[in-house]
Chain A
Amino acid sequence: MMAGVAEDEEKWLAAGIAGLQQNAFYMHRAMDSNNLRDALKYSAQMLSELRTSKLSPHKYYELYMRAFDELRKVEIFFKEETQRGCSVVDLYELVQHAGNILPRLYLLCTVGSVYIKSKEAPAKDILKDLVEMCRGIQHPLRGLFLRSYLSQVSRDKLPDIGSEYEGDADTIMDAVEFVLQNFTEMNKLWVRMQHQGPAREKERREKERSELRDLVGKNLHVLSQIEGVDLDLYKETVLPRVLEQVVNCKDDIAQHYLMDCIIQVFPDEYHLQTLEILLDVFPQLQPSVDIKTVLSQLMERLSNYAALSAEALPEFLQVEAFSKLNNAIGKVIEAQADMPVFGAVTLYSSLLKFSLHVHPDRLDYADQVLGSCVKQLSGRGKIEDSKATKQIVALLSAPLEKYNNVVTALKLSNYPRVLEYLDNETNKVMASVVIQSVMKNNTRITTAEKVEALFELIKGLIKDLDGTAHDEVDEEDFKEEQNSVARLIQMLHNDDPEEMFKIISAVRKHILSGGSKRLPFTVPPLVFSSLKLVRQLQGQEENPFGDEAATTPKKIFQLLNQIIEALANIPVPDLALRLYLQCAEAANDCDLEPVAYEFFTQAYILYEEEISDSKAQITAIHLIIGTLQRMHVFGVENRDTLTHKATGYSAKLLKKPDQCRAVYACSHLFWVDDQDNMKDGERVLLCLKRALRIANAAQQMSNVTRGTTGSVTLFVEILNKYLYFFEKGNPQITVAAIQSLIEVITCEMQSDTSAADPTADAFFASTLRYIQFQKQKGGAAGEKYGPIKV
């Protein structure tokens, strides 16, 4: 069916072109023989082809263009006729004898052009006559093309200021009047197209109309090119007249296109000075007009204008551009009751961008925009529309991008209120944007208040919002998000301990609400951040003001205890254990024995109750040993308890080698270099001997189960420990003991049952080399090593 129509149309076009060419041929012949009468006759017949109603705009255009080319020749012919003595006035009458209106008017416009050029009559009179006569064509398509022809031939003949056709007085008004009238009529025709034909072809009609829109818009372009249209004329006449037409035509396609056109073709400076007039129109447009795009365009243009010319800025202030725009948007939204949220948000987003570009110093403007936006959003609940969401993200990102500083955004009181209308997913995205901004710009957030505000913004990442489905969250993404939060926590800093403490408390409050999945990510940075504060305080005098409320390490530790406890409860024992140990060490440095002890206790409890995996146990026990070794704050009793426990744990590890290693590590607990009261050589030896026993047992077990005695690595390791303590001057470690251990190892290595283990061999060899080296070094060490025979 449709193909049939297209085919037919092709045929009609071909027929039209054929008819046109045939008559053009006769016309040329008549023109060649200077036969005016025939030339007129055939030109009218030729133009009659344009009377067709069968062609779509596209095809009609094709026909029109051919006629247009011919009309150029007709115009030249008319010109020659006048040179041959035919008066142009007569010619002007002669062409009007044509019975059919369309050919008549095309010819009239053509002669009109010659007439104006002849300057026998004022251009304004001729133009006025032409534009008036064209009213006879009320068919939208034919009328549009005819008037477009008129516009085309008259363009260079307007009585513009400085033009050769300029008349006496007020001539510019005539030029403007002419273009305006042609524009008005063309727009009417264009709009009328919409109302013709059956309703089911609406879509096709709209498409056809959009193909024709530039014919109408060209008039505005012509207006903008008229030299004499200065700001006053534009403000007083041109703009009001154009807008009147825009409003009155009550057609959404036209309104959208024309508003856009106005904004595009006239200079920004004009827009700025006529902002009020222009903006007043928007609420009057049809509800279906896509105002947001147009208005956004305007704001964008104005922003660019402000950006490009600094001298324009005072003008912006002078005309109160911002408040006018803001008001206008409010009115538009009010007027267009069923405008989607998306539209409203887009408008505010554009306004915000405008405000940020033009008035970067006026943060209150930005806040005002957000406030208005909140007002619009209120009562609509969470926004479901994905486009709207996108726009809100754009809206919220704008200030961040502009100021490169979250702190500025934090000053916008309405910022978080807008956030509330986002769905959870987007909220998170937005929060990430905020965090990234902080990271990128290395923004320092220095007060608890700002921290509060910031956490309000990134709420989406900090805790579960209502109704989030956990299953849907991608594990990777989640990690990514939480890592960024962790990084953010590191960025919060203030040199003043009081404030820093407040910050920490604030952060704690927020992260504790984060739930078990988030705590493992958020707690460690907070803990370390707190410990940093502790170290800072530690350097200062204890409680310099004697003030109860003042921040003391003790208070921080209390806080830490709670925080880590939360982590332990999840449970994430490994992490909690590490943190406890970290805290204990910090407490140690602050000489707070009870606190340190408490932390250790917590760590031990965790070890006993929660850490059951043997590998985890190994790691944990080594951590405990390592930390405990460095603790100097404990009294003998406490230390004994703790070391005893640690040794006990070591011996209870599952695998023998692990036991062995843990036990020999425990030896260090009894020998701390720089503290004389903690050098208990005897117990060191006990540990080492116990380790040896375990190593032996391990060898035997291996022998029984696998038939080989396994590696001697453990022995070598223990030998190294022996050497270490020997060197440190532990009196209990004797040359004999070392000597016998070396022998045992050598023996083991030579035994038939031992499996070859190059690593262990190498290890042993280098240990021996070390002894050799020490011996040769001479001095105290050489003396000490001297008796050992290798």
Chain B
Amino acid sequence: MNFLIGAFKPPCNVSITFSDEGTRAQVSLKKDNGQSIMVPLFQNQESIIGEVIIEPLQGKKLEHTGVKIELLGQIELLFDKGNFYDFTSLVRELDVPGELYERKIYPFEFSNVEMPHESYNGVNVRLGFILKVTISRNIVGNIVECQDFVVRNYTPLPSINNSIKMEVGIEDCLHIEFEYSKSKYHLRDVIIGKIYFLLIRIKIKSMELEIRRRESTGFGSSTYVETETLAKYELMDSTPVRGMKNSGYNMLLIYFRSFTLQKLQMKLLITHDHVGESIPVRLFLRPYELTPTYRNINNKFSVKYYLNLVIVDGEDRRYFKQQEITVYRLLETP
């Protein structure tokens, strides 16, 4: 039995180390099995340098047809699990075929690796980076050892960052104007804004700002869209400015009941002066687990973020207006 076990055990230990392991930042990465491990963090254009150590088990001979190390950037779609799409694939041959009797160290180096995409662990899609060492063998299977690492890419402050400003409402019933100071936010940014109530004839229970993540995978007819609400942030309690005096309210209810109870038909209105109440918006993004916006990553998936302004009326009907924002990872400039 011992023999048998020994036969299936890899005849050697393989480990991958990075040359700057001591100084490089580590981040946690959630694995398939649900456990988090700490892995090194890289960014685009960095050189990945390290060593592969192969240590045959005591007294064993390791015969191989070659040793190589690959750097793979892979996208795995949930509906196509196990099928990795490699968008980046770099190979370094470490050894010619031969035999290994003792511990051997192979240094490797991938210089200035193009890693335009970030690691991402979504609902329906995963994007990951691995270093994969393969010891090819003839008769028995190859020995493979993988090391995950994470890539994050930083963006400088955008030179143009327009505010989001829009006037929306339902004719003669609710006119609001909202304004978010920027359209692009970094991950630790604060959303600052104001909501102006220009006309209000419905009874509002509350108003909240949601941050929604829209992950779409696949393209064409086989597109899966997954929307998550990451943040629900209450902005306002009850109705501002007194209204309700107009009898139009009842009419309005009928209107909503007969058409749609959920979605508010937003419509651009003529600009008003800001006469009514204004409600401040200040939402810190830090507590939420956002990623940067990913647009059409290798034709496989996109991750977009939206600010959704939701008004809940007295009868719990929700009226909302969604606005896309761009999220980026800010390059910290000293």
Contacts and interface: CB of A to CB of B under 8 A. Distances in A.
A132 interface: yes
B277 A138 contact: yes
Interface stretch (A99-107, A231-239, A258-266, A545-553): A99-107
B234 interface: yes
Given A97-B287, A99-B232, A192-B242, A139 B237 contact: yes
Chain B residues touching A, majority SS: strand
- Which of A99, A132, A138, A191 counts the most chain B CB atoms within 10 A? A138
A51 B237 CA distance: 9
A137 B287 contact: no
B248 interface: no
Contact of B236 (A132, A138, A196): A138
B284 interface: yes
Nearest to A146: B237
B280 A100 contact: no
Contacts of B241: 192
Given A93-B284, A192-B242, A195-B245, A100 B279 contact: no
A101 B283 CA distance: 11
Interface of B: 204, 231-242, 244-245, 277-280, 282, 284, 286-287
A96 B282 contact: yes
B236 A136 contact: yes
A202 interface: no
A195 B277 contact: no
A387 interface: no
Nearest to A104: B234
Given A135-B277, A195-B242, A195-B245, A100 B234 contact: yes
Contacts of B235: 101, 136
Nearest to A142: B237
A441 to B, nearest CB: 58
Given A135-B279, A136-B279, A195-B244, A97 B239 contact: no
A63 to B, nearest CB: 16
A139 B233 CA distance: 17
Interface in A78-98: 93, 96-97
23 contacts: A51-B237, A93-B284, A96-B282, A97-B287, A99-B232, A100-B234, A101-B234, A101-B237, A102-B237, A104-B234, A133-B280, A135-B277, A136-B235, A136-B237, A136-B280, A137-B236, A138-B237, A138-B238, A138-B240, A139-B237, A142-B237, A191-B242, A195-B244
Contacts of B238: 137-140, 142-143
Contacts of B284: 93, 96-97
Nearest to B238: A139
Contacts of B237: 51, 101-102, 136-139, 142-143
Interface of A: 51, 93, 96-97, 99-102, 104, 132-133, 135-140, 142-143, 191-192, 195-196
B147 to A, nearest CB: 33
Contacts of A137: 236-238
- Which of A142, A191, A195 counts the most chain B CB atoms within 10 A? A195
B287 to A, nearest CB: 5
A616 B295 CA distance: 129
B1 to A, nearest CB: 52
Contact of B239 (A101, A133, A138): A138
A5 B92 CA distance: 80
A102 B234 CA distance: 9
Nearest to B240: A138
B233 to A, nearest CB: 6
A133 B282 contact: yes
A439 B27 CA distance: 103
Contacts of B233: 99
B280 A135 contact: yes
A192 B276 CA distance: 14
Contact of A132 (B231, B232, B244, B280): B280
Contacts of B242: 191-192, 195-196
Contacts of B236: 101, 136-138
A135 B241 CA distance: 11
B212 to A, nearest CB: 15
Given A100-B234, A135-B277, A136-B279, 5 more contacts: A102-B234, A135-B279, A135-B280, A136-B237, A196-B242
Contacts of B286: 93, 97
Contact of B278 (A99, A135, A143, A195): A135
Nearest to A191: B242
Contacts of A99: 231-234
A114 to B, nearest CB: 19
A128 to B, nearest CB: 11
Contacts of B231: 99
B71 to A, nearest CB: 38
A43 B244 CA distance: 35
Contacts of A196: 242, 244
A14 B239 CA distance: 27
Nearest to A133: B280
A142 B205 CA distance: 13
A101 B232 CA distance: 11
Contacts of A96: 282, 284
Contacts of A136: 234-237, 279-280
Nearest to A105: B237
Contacts of B280: 132-133, 135-136
Nearest to B235: A136
Contacts of B277: 135, 138
Contacts of B279: 135-136, 138
Q: 5 smallest A-B Cβ distances: which pairs?
A: A139-B238, A101-B234, A138-B240, A138-B238, A195-B242
A115 to B, nearest CB: 15
Contacts of B232: 99
Nearest to B233: A99
Nearest to B287: A97
A132 B147 CA distance: 51
